[in-house]
Every structure is written in structure tokens, then in C-alpha cells.
Amino acid sequence: MSAVQHSRTAAEHPVSPALRSRLPQVGTTIFTVMSALAQQCGAINLGQGFPDFDPDPKLPEAVNAAMRAGHNQYPPMAGVPLLREALAEKIEALHGAAYDPGEEITITAGATQALLTAVLAVVHPGDEVIVLTPAYDSYAPAIALAGGVARFVPLDAHYRPDFDAIAAAITPRTRAMLVNSPHNPSGRVWTAQDMQRLGTLLAPTDIVLISDEVYEHMVFDGATHHSAAAYPQLAARSFVVSSFGKTYHVTGWKVGMVAAPRELTREFRKVHQFNVFTVNTPMQHGLAHYLRTQPEAHLNLPAFYQAKRDRFRAGLASTRLRLLPCEGTYFQCADYGAVSDLPEAAFCEWLTREVGVAAIPLSAFHPDPVERSTVRFCFAKREATLDAALERLARL
């Protein structure tokens, strides 16, 4: 083929450049797969973690009012001051921790962006980051994108932190540690003693703590959420991450926040300003107004979700599923060993196709497959949805 013919062929049939993937092990998430299968099969989707009900109408009304008032251009990079001030007041009221809203609180495009930005701000190539497994699926890719190395430390058989194993995983290269309480996927909640032990363990180190607390207002049976912000020894080294989407039933809005000491916030904002710069203006104004005028919304959330948890657990009690403890979040895990010997992913596919209810395998939250015959259901659903799912699950 002549050079002219080759050139003509290339122009007629363009080929994309070959790339070396930054995330070669990453494919389509299990949440996307199971949601698509649920839709295909007409199954009730208790897999992906989002509500199927609307927020308090006062919240979108506050956003609409903000748009009509002209709050439609870029806000300050760190977030609308009114919202940061309201958050500082809330954190102090709940945890006794004083954060400067100007220099220590940042509004983010959801909690996942907050987690990624925190990792990128502190982790350099070759640095190690301790991740307790099972873990939310964004943690490891964030570490990989920073050039870091994830050091996976399993939670114990009851999904509690194993402090001896954590201590053994710390090396001179350990730069950060990711913790999550209330915990997705297990629904366990760290205790005051857990937080104190973590503080003692990290005290002699320069390890940065990234504390994922997006389910902070979903703690049940009179228990308390123990934020890293409430423990000065931890707060001094922590990025504390939370989510308006989880708290106010608006996961699609993708608005989160980070509270951290000014030295950490300074580095966080250097990255934040170049990956999203800032976050939706009218929603920030609406959230600020709602947070100030409707504080009972987050204060009443534990009872709201506990009622759903109790309804769902009561319905499952008549099945052969063995219910694991659910101390927080809006997830209920169950052992299906008495029902099937299928691997977790295969069982979830069978459950979706044959029973008509979608769940998520816990093996999807591990870096390497760990089979415990355990699946996760989301009960952040309307009562009618839960009852319909329970009617189908009754055959198990």
C-alpha cells in the first residue's frame, strides 16, 4: 500500500490511540450491574443504596427560592459561607468540636469527590494507605490514582476493627488510613472505645486519618455516632467527610462536605480547586437555609430509619436468612447459607431473576473475593416497596 493509500485509509477509518489504563483492574461496578439486572427482570431493587422517596418539600423549595433570588453564578471556591457557618454550628453542637468555617470546612461535589480529593492531597507515589475491608468501592481506585499502595486490613469476623492487625500493617511508608463508621456494607458502628484505641495507635505517627462518616445520622437503638471530630487527638489529623445527599434523601444532588484542621484543609483545597473548583450554588444556599430552619430533619433521622430497619428485619425473620447486626446505615446484611450454597454474586443474580429482589454480594467490597454467603439489602425505601420485597422474600 502506498503512503497516499495508507493516509486515505486512516482518514476514512480513524482509530483511537492506544491507552495504558490508570485503573486496569476496574470494570463496571456491581451496583450498576445489579441495578441493570433488576430493571431487566422487573425486580425490586434493594441493591443500590439510594432512597425511592422524595425529600422534605421545604428543601427543593429553598433551592428554588435561591435560584429566584439570583444565586446562580460561581460561589466561593470553598463553598457558600452561610452553609459552612451552619455546618460549623452543627458540628460544634453535636461533637463539641470548633471548626473555623472560613478555613476548615469545604463543600464538595458529593462525598466520593471529598474522599478522592483528600487522598490526592496527602498521598504521594509509593505511600501506603490502610483500608479496612470490606470497604466502599471508591477507596482503592482513589489510592491508585494518587500512585499510592492500598494496604488492606480485614475487619474481624463480626466486622469490628482488629487493632492488632491494624498496628501490624503500619510501616514507615504509611501515609494515611481510611475508616468508615457507620460502616458500609456491614452496618456496624464504631464505639467510643474504638475511637480512643485508634487515637492511641496513631498518636506516635504522622498518619492522616480520612474518616468517612456519610451515615452519621443513621445510628440506632439509642447509640451515638462517634465522629473523629469529637476526639481532639484524632481531629487534629483527620479529614471528616459527610454527605447532604445521604442525610436529606437527595443522593442525586451530589453535595458533601469536609471538615479538617487548616493545615490539612489548605492542601485539600489546592486539589479541590482544580478538580471541581466549586459546587452547585443554589443548592448550597438551599441547604444552608434548610439546615438552619429545619434542624429536626437530621435529629429525627435515627428514628426515621430505625422504623424502616425494624419493619424490614421483622419481615425477614420468617425466612431462612440469618440477619446480621444492623447498628447504623440503611443497609441490612444477611447470611443465606441455609438457603443456597451458591457464591455470593451468583446468589444475588439468582435472587434477582427467580425471587424478584436485587441485593449486593459482600464479596464485591473486598479487594479479593471473600465468600461468606452474605448479601446486603438497602432498606431506604418506601414502606410499600419494603412490603412488596418482603412478600417475595417470604419464599426463602
Phi, psi of 335 (to 5 degrees): -90, 125
- Compute the mean pLDDT over every residue in the chain, rounded to the nearest whole number: 95
Distance from C-alpha of 25 to C-alpha of 254, rounded to nearest angstrom: 26
Phi, psi of 229 (to 5 degrees): -65, -25
Q: Map 236-278 to HEC letters.
A: CCEEEEEEHHHHHCCHHHCCEEEECCHHHHHHHHHHHHHHCCC
Task: Based on the fold, state whether residues 165 and 98 are members of the same structural domain.
Answer: yes
Residue 369 pLDDT exceeds 90: no
pTM of the model: 0.95
* Last residue within a domain, chosen from 297, 323, 355: 297
Distance from C-alpha of 31 to C-alpha of 364, rounded to nearest angstrom: 9
Which residues are CB-contacts of 331 (< 8 A; sequence separation ≥ 6)?
Answer: 49, 184, 185, 186, 187, 376, 377, 378, 379
Residue 374 pLDDT exceeds 90: yes
* Last residue within a domain, chosen from 297, 323, 338: 297
**What's the CATH code of the domain at 142?**
3.40.640.10
Phi/psi-derived region of residue 126, left when phi > 0, alpha when psi is between -120 and 50, beta in every other case: left
Task: Based on the fold, state whether residues 62 and 48 are members of the same structural domain.
Answer: no
Confidence grade of residue 12 (pLDDT, cut at 50, 70, 90): confident
Taking a C-beta distance cutoff of 8 angstroms, is the pair 241, 257 a contact?
yes
Task: Based on the fold, state whether residues 313 and 291 are members of the same structural domain.
Answer: no
Distance from C-alpha of 86 to C-alpha of 92, rounded to nearest angstrom: 10
Nearest to 167 by CA among 194, 202, 116, 139: 202
Confidence grade of residue 116 (pLDDT, cut at 50, 70, 90): very high
Asked, for residue 3, whether it belongs to a domain, the answer is no
Which domain covers residue 168, as residue numbers? 58-297
Asked, for residue 86, whether it belongs to a domain, the answer is yes
pLDDT tens, position by position, 169-193: 999 999 999 999 999 999 999 999 9
pLDDT at 30 (0 to 100) = 83
Asked, for residue 253, whether it belongs to a domain, the answer is yes
The average pLDDT across 348-369 equals 95
Taking a C-beta distance cutoff of 8 angstroms, is the pair 139, 131 a contact?
yes
Burial of 296 (0-12, 13-18, 19+ CB in 10 A): exposed
Asked, for residue 315, whether it belongs to a domain, the answer is yes
**What's the CATH code of the domain at 367?**
3.90.1150.10
Asked, for residue 4, whether it belongs to a domain, the answer is no
pLDDT at 3 (0 to 100) = 59
Task: Based on the fold, state whether residues 68 and 154 are members of the same structural domain.
Answer: yes
Per-residue cell: 308: 424502616
Distance from C-alpha of 235 to C-alpha of 15, rounded to nearest angstrom: 51
Residue 13 pLDDT exceeds 90: no
The average pLDDT across 142-168 equals 98
Q: How many structural domains compose the chain?
A: 2
Task: Based on the fold, state whether residues 226 and 191 are members of the same structural domain.
Answer: yes
Report which DSSP code applies to 179. Answer: E
Per-residue cell: 108: 464538595
Distance from C-alpha of 21 to C-alpha of 148, rounded to nearest angstrom: 16
* Last residue within a domain, chosen from 253, 277, 297: 297
